[in-house]
Copies of this chain bind each other. A is one copy, B any other.
Amino acid sequence: MTRRADVHRIAMQSPDDVSGIRLLIEQARLDPCTVVAVLGKTEGNGCVNDFTRGYATQSLRHLFSHWLSEDQLDKVPFVMSGGTEGGLSPHWIVITVKKNEEPPQNSATVAQALAVGSAVTRDLLPSELGRCVQADIVKQGVLKAMHQANIQSPDDVHLVQVKCPLLTSGRIEQVGGDVATTDTLKSMSLSRAASALGVGMALGEVARVDDVRIGTDLSLWSGRASCSAGIELMGCEIVVLGQSISWSGPLRVAHAVMQDTIDASTLMDLIARTSGERYASAHGSHIVATLAKAEASSTGHIRGSRHTMLNDSDIAATRHVRSFVGGLLAGLVGNTEIFVSGGAEHQGPDGGGPVAIIYSTDSL
């Protein structure tokens, strides 16, 4: 007997619009008791004062409270990422897991299928955020989630989604200013950085780190970490997406690492691995979800040409880059419901970032 993961991508009309999820539940196409994680791409600024994430989470908890207890709710990662700049479209990605009583579709071969594990860490102290303690805590969480999903090798992990906290003036005061940074926007960056290094340590991509290299030594990176920071939590919520022969069903996951924000070639190769075709405009239906990280290169250049993202005091660089990379992803994948999140510190090389595609072998 295996487990089977299903992934539902559902449009969201506003951060509190859970009607699409409710409809699937009412139609018995989604069992709320089997939900292991919900990702949401919400339409806020994705920065410090983005309350659409908390609003979406509150709305989700209210919905699911009809079926799950408070304790059960606390164990489901709700990973909201703000920012649907450009033509990106707000949406939910609901992941369910159930036991699969049916034999594998093709009993002759033992194929790997999408495997999902999750973990929620303890709350961090504001003074731990963006430092080694956070990286270690995330590392332990990733290993726990892999074990839970029976993913044997780090090579079978294709994306680790981490939602981690940020600092506010209030939280900084709470620990008497003993924090990695007093700049609240910067704290989002350091929190993502520490989480990414934790993922990299768990997957063997990064060796032990020290505080000073977090957010600064860009030669250290994970090709499978996707971290976002939010005001609404103080712990880290971890979802591991991989493949395992202990799982069955039609879904698969693949990933690649974009080398810069305009790396169409890597994206095309990744899409080709899911379907044989190098872009999905006409064949997009097999792609169930696209998850990516993007960031403005710290050099201020893309292939030798200057970009203006880091010098723009009107629009945060993360907002610029989500739209920019989102345009390329949406064009090649053929739809705008892309979970692209900004700020890819230690998540892929400087100016680049990991991309993962969950796809279905049924619709090919």
Contact = CB atoms under 8 A, between A and B. Distances in A.
Contacts of A34: none
A268 B51 CA distance: 37
Interface in A42-87: 43-45, 47-52, 54-55, 58-59, 62, 84-87
A15 to B, nearest CB: 5
A104 interface: no
Contacts of A182: 298
Nearest to A82: B313
Contacts of A52: 51
B184 A186 contact: no
Contact of A315 (B91, B315, B330): B315
Contacts of A84: 307-308
A309 B48 contact: no
Given A59-B58, A279-B268, A314 B49 contact: yes
Contact of A86 (B54, B264, B320, B335): B320
Contacts of A183: 183, 186
A296 interface: yes
Contact of A313 (B49, B296, B325, B330): B49
A332 interface: yes
Contacts of A16: 51, 54-55, 58
A262 B327 contact: yes
Contacts of A267: 331
Interface of A: 11, 13-16, 43-45, 47-52, 54-55, 58-59, 62, 84-91, 168-170, 173, 182-186, 231, 261-265, 267-268, 279, 281-282, 296, 298-300, 302-303, 305-316, 319-321, 323-328, 330-332, 334-337
Given A16-B55, A86-B323, A324-B330, 20 more contacts: A15-B51, A43-B51, A44-B51, A48-B313, A49-B312, A58-B59, A85-B324, A86-B327, A87-B309, A90-B306, A168-B311, A170-B300, A184-B310, A184-B311, A261-B330, A262-B281, A264-B332, A305-B335, A327-B327, A331-B331
